[in-house]
Structure 1
Amino acid sequence: MKHFGLILFLFGSTILGQENFVVNISGEEEGNYEFIRVKGVQFISNGSPFYANGFNAYWLMYIASDPSQRWKVSSAFEEASKHNLKVVRTWAFSDGGYSPLQYSPGSYNEIMFQGLDFVISEARKYGMKLILSLVNNYENLGGKKQYVEWAKNTGQQIQSEDDFFTNSVVKEFYRNHIKAVLTRHNTITGVSYKDDPTIMGWELMNEPRCNSDVSGSTIQEWVTEMATYLKSIDKNHLLEAGLEGFYGQSDAYKQHYNLNFQTGTDFIANNQIQDIDFATVHSYPDQWFTNQSEEVQLSFLKEWLNNHIQDAQEVLLKPVVMAEFGKSSRLPGTNDNQRDELFDTIYSAILTSASGGGAAAGGLFWQLLTHGLDNFRDGYEIVFDESPTTANIIRRQSQILESIH
């Protein structure tokens, strides 16, 4: 379902924040820059609703680890800010393999960490908020597979990659990574990550799945444990689990929307965990309905969005973000008009909810690129000056959301 195999080949691989937090960058006071909070089903910033309209750019840390390439990060943020985008979701992980962040459990690549330092400082400069994901479900950039391999090397009896969620040694490795990232002292801003309001929130895992336990109890226990641990270190920031939105036993009627995906997750139960502050949904109808018509894809998408927004509004009582969506230009017969229609469909659902004070709190398209990043093209990329109609839809969405009070 997910397109990581295409995009990562070159690697080998209730908030309790402080009031009126001030970050001093380059010796200059930049005024009141608060942590994003949750109030009811909305995000709040400086007392007003905040909408997480933005993009994914998983490549930021890797590119920024090379100082000669950092201009590409700056260029992407500058272009995004011109389109009024506010939130960036990116990776705070790269485990083992080529040029990793984490060479081995607890052993970190300072050059890569300084790349992430730059990403955070540059996001601050351009008025962006970051959602940082802490590990991958998939083996790209290591993920849970690398963690269980590390545990095997210590003599642990590992049955499958899903032991990531249950093995005590693996869980300790992951908790240590949480601590290492959250307590990282940014070499550019001088601010520890856990104290930096540039970061909107943390994501426990990109698209967690546990196929060996489709009941959902394994993921439920893991999210509960890791959310509690993360919040014991950092009560400033929001937290989400990284879910795609598949339903579980807590809403058996809606399991038909899972399209036969057996993920071991439960959109309702997993997001009802106390330390999870907001829900996420991913949407890739072109991957889920291969060889199906545009009408079939869009019809499902509308139901998928409306169901999750309604659940967030009436059951979870938390905001929900459409954290990944897109349409590949590489599929036969795909054109810009079809991608624009998908963006319009998703943005319209968000606006309909947001304009009434509802739970839909934003959307993050996959993925933003700028020039000079051709190796990262996966068919889903948006380069603004190459896709002017899509760029206009993105800009208009941001402008409308900003006008909602």
Structure 2
Amino acid sequence: MNRRNLLQAAATTALAAASGTLTGKALAASPATPSAKPSSDAFIRAEGSRFVRHGQTYRYTGANIWYLAWLGTDGSYGDRGRLGRELDRLKAMGVTNVRVLAGAEESPVKDSIKPGFLREDGSLNQDLLTGLDYAMAELGKRSMTAVLYLTNNWEWSGGMMSLLYYATGKYINNNDPAHPWPAFPDYGSAFYSNPEAVKRNFAYVRMLVSRTNSVTGVRYAEDPTLMSWQLCNEPRPGVTPSLMKKVLPSYYKWIADSAALIRSLDPNHMVSLGMEGTIATGFREDIVLRAHRGIDYMTAHIWPLNWSWVDGKDLAGTWDAGKAKVEAYLAQHERLAKTLGKPLVFEEFGFPRDGELYDPSVPTTFRERYYRLIYAAAEASLAAGGPVQGTNFWAWNGEARAQHGDHHFRDGDTRYMGDPPHEPQGWYGNFDSDTGMIEVISTHAKAFASPEARG
């Protein structure tokens, strides 16, 4: 047996043990005594084009804060005090939902966060899993909810490229001059049809969905703090049209099989996909509709700078054209959600600071204008009885500041920001000193809150 086969065998054994299918060491420290099981109406569900909880409409203003599990660890890279402060800040702003990374695969893939939850040999980072437990407990104390995404299409948390590497021993890096765009997403789309890579993914999902929180003693499957299990951050069926056509059958199958696996273990929580929308499908609406057929609600991610709809160095000169494209994209996805008869969440939206600079001293003139644009679309949908039920801005940096003058993240850094390790630190994240941004978010939160939240 060669080294890779040995690693795969070890991975299967380790993940099976963590899932409870083998006898072995407990996954985490002895849990606290669990409280009584919540009633079924404590869980958020999709009913038609709205979310419902406790028999009432549930809407939210949310944030992306991927790094909560890292802060939640009781170790060298954790900071539980900061975790509590950040959640308190968000809560004070009216943010009641956070989208959190709950699966990260360690590998040689460049710019991926370390440590991760899952290692190549199949072992699990118990400290990081306990960190996620702690974060969920703190969210529950504040009556906040979480969307947990289980892997990533992109490199910054290892993701599908790392799972493919575990299975084949091969990978490529994003933004590698030897493999120009769209080589990375095209190559990574082989994940969906690779049995070993999918098996590793499903083993991790099975472990986490079946997990009992070591802090609260409550099974994740029975915790109303969890709003939704999310299959992936921005899963794409490749980019090149000819390749996409070949990938689509395995892409659809992976979505259906993933959702079925989760529901077999957890009948209480919604399942979401984490898709960007038509930008991920070459603007093919049929793929978006088909991909969401067995999914509880639809998501849209909107990135005008990344998609070259605006010029970061000339925001004033390119704003009007970019604004028109954003408005069209939002309207398109609201129409698609109506076709599906399901809720829609504007789940990621980000914009640079003025001049595309990174320091918190730089104004956020155009970012404030952009957030107001997104929030106005959500509020207009609400007024018209439309499907938009949630908004999650990208992202929250809070009290963190870049550790290096070049604003680049380096392995070993622990001042985590909403800007992931492959991006300039301060590019899209909002700091606790961004009073203008905080006011924009807070104003929307008051306007968009569920009726019971408004009193």
TM bucket (normalised to shorter chain) is: 0.7 to 0.9
Give me the whole-angstrom Cα distance separating, in 2, the residues matched to 1:109 and 1:373.
Answer: 26
Of residues 348, 353, 361 in structure 2, which corresponds to 1:329? 353
RMSD: 2.7
Task: Kindly provide the amino acid, as one letter, of the partner of residue 277 in structure 1.
Answer: D
Query: Given that residues 310 and 319 in structure 2 are in contact (C-alpha distance below 8 angstroms), is that contact kept between their aligned partners in structure 1?
Result: no
- Note the C-alpha offset of 1:83: 1.2
2:345 is the counterpart of 1:345? no
2:427 is the counterpart of 1:379? yes
SS at match of 1:103: coil
**Alignment-derived partner of residue 360 in structure 1:** 388
Give me the whole-angstrom Cα distance separating, in 1, the residues matched to 2:372 and 2:53.
Answer: 26
Query: Given that residues 137 and 216 in structure 2 are in contact (C-alpha distance below 8 angstroms), is that contact kept between their aligned partners in structure 1?
Result: yes
Post-superposition Cα deviations, 1:256-280, rounded to whole Å, max 9, x if no partner, equal x9xxxxxxx9222111x22x10011
Post-superposition Cα deviations, 1:328-352, rounded to whole Å, max 9, x if no partner, equal 1274488422111111111111111
**Alignment-derived partner of residue 186 in structure 1:** 213
SS at match of 2:100: strand
**Alignment-derived partner of residue 4 in structure 1:** none
**Alignment-derived partner of residue 442 in structure 2:** 395
Moved more, 73-82 or 285-294: 285-294
2:325 is the counterpart of 1:295? no
Query: Given that residues 133 and 215 in structure 2 are in contact (C-alpha distance below 8 angstroms), is that contact kept between their aligned partners in structure 1?
Result: yes
Post-superposition Cα deviations, 1:279-320, rounded to whole Å, max 9, x if no partner, equal 11000112212437011111111111111112212x110001
**Alignment-derived partner of residue 13 in structure 1:** none
SS at match of 1:132: strand
2:56 is the counterpart of 1:35? no
**Alignment-derived partner of residue 138 in structure 1:** 154
Post-superposition Cα deviations, 1:194-221, rounded to whole Å, max 9, x if no partner, equal 1111000011111112326323443222
Kindly name which structure, 1 or 2, has the bigger radius of gyration based on alpha carbons.
2
Q: How does 1:79-94 map to 2 (within 5 A)?
A: 79-94=89-104
Moved more, 83-92 or 395-404: 395-404
Of residues 177, 191, 202 in structure 2, which corresponds to 1:164? 191
- Note the C-alpha offset of 1:234: 1.2
Query: Given that residues 42 and 357 in structure 1 are in contact (C-alpha distance below 8 angstroms), is that contact kept between their aligned partners in structure 2?
Result: no
Query: Given that residues 92 and 135 in structure 1 are in contact (C-alpha distance below 8 angstroms), is that contact kept between their aligned partners in structure 2?
Result: yes
| C-alpha spacing 1:61/1:373, structure 2 compared with 1 (3 Å) | farther
Query: Given that residues 60 and 448 in structure 2 are in contact (C-alpha distance below 8 angstroms), is that contact kept between their aligned partners in structure 1?
Result: no
Identity of aligned residues (%): 24
**Alignment-derived partner of residue 214 in structure 1:** 244
Query: Given that residues 329 and 335 in structure 1 are in contact (C-alpha distance below 8 angstroms), is that contact kept between their aligned partners in structure 2?
Result: yes
Query: Given that residues 133 and 205 in structure 1 are in contact (C-alpha distance below 8 angstroms), is that contact kept between their aligned partners in structure 2?
Result: yes
Q: How does 1:3-402 map to 2 (within 5 A)?
A: 34-66=42-74, 69-97=79-107, 98-104=114-120, 106-153=122-169, 160-211=187-238, 213-215=243-245, 216-246=248-278, 255=284, 266-271=287-292, 273-274=293-294, 276-288=295-307, 289-291=309-311, 293-313=318-338, 315-329=339-353, 331-332=355-356, 335-374=363-402, 375=415, 376=417, 377-384=425-432, 386-402=433-449
Give me the whole-angstrom Cα distance separating, in 2, the residues matched to 1:114 and 1:35.
Answer: 23
Give me the whole-angstrom Cα distance separating, in 1, the residues matched to 2:210 and 2:120.
Answer: 18
Give me the whole-angstrom Cα distance separating, in 1, the residues matched to 2:257 and 2:450.
Answer: 39
**Alignment-derived partner of residue 20 in structure 1:** none
Moved more, 347-356 or 127-136: 347-356
| C-alpha spacing 1:31/1:399, structure 2 compared with 1 (3 Å) | farther
| C-alpha spacing 1:86/1:26, structure 2 compared with 1 (3 Å) | farther
Query: Given that residues 354 and 366 in structure 2 are in contact (C-alpha distance below 8 angstroms), is that contact kept between their aligned partners in structure 1?
Result: no
Query: Given that residues 105 and 173 in structure 1 are in contact (C-alpha distance below 8 angstroms), is that contact kept between their aligned partners in structure 2?
Result: no
SS at match of 2:390: strand
Task: Kindly provide the amino acid, as one letter, of the partner of residue 53 in structure 1.
Answer: T
Q: How many residues align?
A: 363
Give me the whole-angstrom Cα distance separating, in 2, the residues matched to 1:248 and 1:132.
Answer: 21
Task: Kindly provide the amino acid, as one letter, of the partner of residue 426 in structure 2.
Answer: D
Give me the whole-angstrom Cα distance separating, in 1, the residues matched to 2:154 and 2:279.
Answer: 20
| C-alpha spacing 1:105/1:207, structure 2 compared with 1 (3 Å) | farther
Q: Which runs of 5+ in 1 are unaligned?
A: 1-23, 258-264
Q: Which runs of 5+ in 2 are unaligned?
A: 1-30, 108-113, 171-185, 312-316, 403-414, 418-424
**Alignment-derived partner of residue 14 in structure 1:** none
SS at match of 1:145: helix
Task: Kindly provide the amino acid, as one letter, of the partner of residue 320 in structure 1.
Answer: L
| C-alpha spacing 1:103/1:268, structure 2 compared with 1 (3 Å) | same
Query: Given that residues 368 and 383 in structure 1 are in contact (C-alpha distance below 8 angstroms), is that contact kept between their aligned partners in structure 2?
Result: yes
Give me the whole-angstrom Cα distance separating, in 2, the residues matched to 1:310 and 1:179.
Answer: 34
Moved more, 330-339 or 183-192: 330-339
Task: Kindly provide the amino acid, as one letter, of the partner of residue 351 in structure 2.
Answer: K
Query: Given that residues 38 and 44 in structure 1 are in contact (C-alpha distance below 8 angstroms), is that contact kept between their aligned partners in structure 2?
Result: yes
Query: Given that residues 134 and 203 in structure 1 are in contact (C-alpha distance below 8 angstroms), is that contact kept between their aligned partners in structure 2?
Result: yes
| C-alpha spacing 1:29/1:169, structure 2 compared with 1 (3 Å) | closer
Query: Given that residues 329 and 380 in structure 1 are in contact (C-alpha distance below 8 angstroms), is that contact kept between their aligned partners in structure 2?
Result: yes
SS at match of 1:99: coil
- Note the C-alpha offset of 1:233: 1.3
- Note the C-alpha offset of 1:170: 1.1
Give me the whole-angstrom Cα distance separating, in 2, the residues matched to 1:65 and 1:308.
Answer: 38
